A and B are shown apart, each in its own frame.
Chain A
Amino acid sequence: MPDTTTDVTVMPDSPTGTPAAPARNERRGRRRPRKPFGTQFRTAVSPHQLNTTRGRIIYWIVLAIVVVSFTAAFVFPLYWMVTGAMKSTEELNSIPPTFLPSHFSLDGYLEAWDLLDLGTLLGNTALYAGGAWLLTLAVDVSAAYALSKLRPALGKVVLALMLSTLMIPPMVIMLPAYLTVKEVPIFGWNLLNTPWAIWLPAAANGFNVFLLKRFFDSIPRELLEAAEIDGASPGRILWSVVIPISRPILGVVSILTVVNVWRDFVWPLLVLPDSDKMSVSIGIASLSSQMPQNVLVASLVIASIPTIVVFFLFQRHIMAGLTAGSLKG
């Protein structure tokens, strides 16, 4: 019965079937410079083929092509945007284009900040996103809690009605929703150009209720009953028991809400027509045709910084939200 280690020493050039760990010990000091590709995760490409010389060459070529083309497709446009804002209009028009701005200056950015009043626009957007976040959490968490744990009469009907809104494409009901904001039925308020026009519709999000309810359903009943026996009211149970153990899903819902409000275009375009109430996307778009190209590009850079920062801070939650979003239902 041949033992694997001796097998390796006899046929060192055959990579087939050699477990990674002992093989590496045996190979130390031999000619082959690279350690074999790990076999811990197996994919469509056979690890054995990958470890042949031909497999390695193909692998490195593919890797190089992918890295170069991805960088060209996704990083280069952003590089072009960041440096384009530093070029003068003449330099932007020059042929052939310059790959580095002729002199490094942030004047384009400063000019954009002043001309487009980006401070106000970003402040507005932060207000809309922050308020929508708080209101959505308050409204959707308590609704999901009621539907999941308090189980009122007709709760199933209410849930079904809330989930039915997922079937309605938002663009299609945009006009009647706009009319509602313009004159709220019964109350007769005009919410146009107020933050409520963003906040209230953001809270009416069936997907959030669904995500939260599904999570709350998985909380063991015994935990809540223990709190109930200790005399905690439903509100107290929600605040001290349910919310602390629901951090992950609250993170997902928070990030989805903030990102959606920040990225949204059509809805703020309709309900925030005043130039000093606009969100940053709308503000830039509405002034885009009157701006010199380098100023416009500078404003685009500034407008994307907050979302990129948010992404870096909450990368894990965003990924979780992404997969949650793909499997809703």
Chain B
Amino acid sequence: MTTASIPAASGRRRQPTKLRRAVRRNVTAYGFLCGALICFAFFSWYPMVREVILSFQRTNFVDPPRWVGLENFRTVINDPAFGPAWVNTAVFTLLALLCGYGIPFVTAIVLNELRHARAYLRFVVYLPVMLPPAVSVLLFQWFYNPDYGLFNQALGLVHLPGLQWLNSTSTALISLVIVSTWMNMGSGTLIYLAALQTIPSELYEAAELDGAGLFKRIWHVTIPQTKLILLVMLLLQIVATMQVFIEPYLLTGGGPENATVSVVYLMYQYAFNFGNLNAGNALGLMLMIVLMVFSAIYLRVSRDNTV
């Protein structure tokens, strides 16, 4: 920071001013930092610590909190919805990855080949992302209506029997996956499209000269060239979809018969419907540990590979 090259004779005098300058610089710096430090301390760092503490306590906000060891965890694990919640979250994540990860990438590859209507297609695929998620979800609630919803009306037009969609245990979860994919795939598509456009054309030309067909070129050029972004997006998407809440909250309330209850939804219910905040915290802590594994991999990957 200090670059002044004053003759060595004044070396002795500089000692206190240098210190004072350092102190002043630090005071100014922390002055600039204090707003952020307060916000982070109250709304990020303290809640992180408190999440762990509350999981092992029993609090009712009247009496002082009591340490109860693993009791909260036992409560949650013995809940009949506990198993379904994790299974549903895992299945939802898997299906949402199959649709929400595969479809955008294929879409991006196709869009990248087209020479016409590019701006239109890019805009259209991003349209649902512009809507607030609650709007998309409520819109699909209407479409899923077995009596007058768009989907059953469309099936009726081609003389197919309508489905129960959200009301049946067999179709409820996949219905949630469809909404989730519809409203989220735009950003993934555009991110992949941006990545595809950075692939140097020489690579394709070279592959073609070597006699590689279209699918071989995609396999040996496109995918290796976008490997990093594919990996990063995969991890981001796992972390995002495992926190699924708004779809079950608005569409099914976890039903029918716990077919769509997710971990975060169960956590919400513990805190706000069952009046057992600590059990909700215990559940949250379990989810946090699972998700942090993915987050850690993500941070590792992106740190190692970006400039």
| A residues at B contact (CB < 8 Å) | 37-38, 41-46, 59, 62-63, 66-67, 70-71, 73-75, 77-78, 80-81, 84, 92-93, 95-97, 138-140, 142-143, 145-147, 150-153, 155, 158, 161-162, 165-181, 184-185, 200-201, 203-204, 206, 209, 225, 234, 238, 262-263, 265-266, 270, 280-282, 284-285, 288, 293, 296-297, 300, 303-304, 307-308, 311, 319, 322-323, 326-329
Q: Give the secondary structure class of A's interface.
A: helix
Between-chain CB contacts (< 8 Å), 20 pairs: A74-B127, A74-B182, A77-B143, A77-B150, A97-B153, A140-B36, A152-B29, A153-B26, A167-B292, A169-B243, A172-B291, A175-B277, A201-B44, A203-B36, A206-B40, A266-B268, A270-B272, A288-B250, A296-B142, A303-B135
**Chain A residues whose C-beta falls within 8 Å of the C-beta of B32 in the assembled complex:** 142-143, 145-146, 150, 234, 238
* Chain B residues near A (Cβ < 8 Å): 1, 3, 25-26, 28-33, 35-37, 39-40, 42-48, 50-51, 54, 109-117, 120-121, 124-128, 130-135, 138-139, 141-143, 147-148, 150, 153, 156-157, 182, 187, 190-191, 194, 196-197, 199, 201, 204-205, 208, 214, 217-218, 221-222, 229, 232-233, 236, 239, 242-243, 245-246, 250, 264, 267-268, 271-272, 277, 280-281, 284-285, 287-288, 291-292, 295-296, 298-299, 301-303, 305-306
Report the nearest B residue to A309, measured CB to CB: B130
Give the 9 A-B residue pairs with the shortest CB-CB distance, closest first.
A329-B302, A42-B201, A152-B29, A143-B36, A281-B134, A146-B32, A150-B29, A176-B47, A176-B50
Known: A70-B124, A152-B29, A175-B280. A139 touches B36 (CB 8 A): yes
* A285 contacts B33, C-beta separation under 8 Å: no
How far is B1's CA from A225's CA once the two chains are assembled, in angstroms?
Answer: 9
Question: Is B131 a contact partner of A304 (Cβ separation < 8 A)?
Answer: yes
- Find B115's partner among A38, A143, A168 (CB 8 Å cutoff): A38
Residues of B contacting A206 in the complex (Cβ-Cβ under 8 angstroms): 40, 44
Given contacts A175-B280, A204-B39, A303-B135, contact A152 B25 (CB under 8 A): yes
Which of A44, A63, A77 is the most central at the interface, judged by chain B CB atoms within 10 Å of its CB?
A44
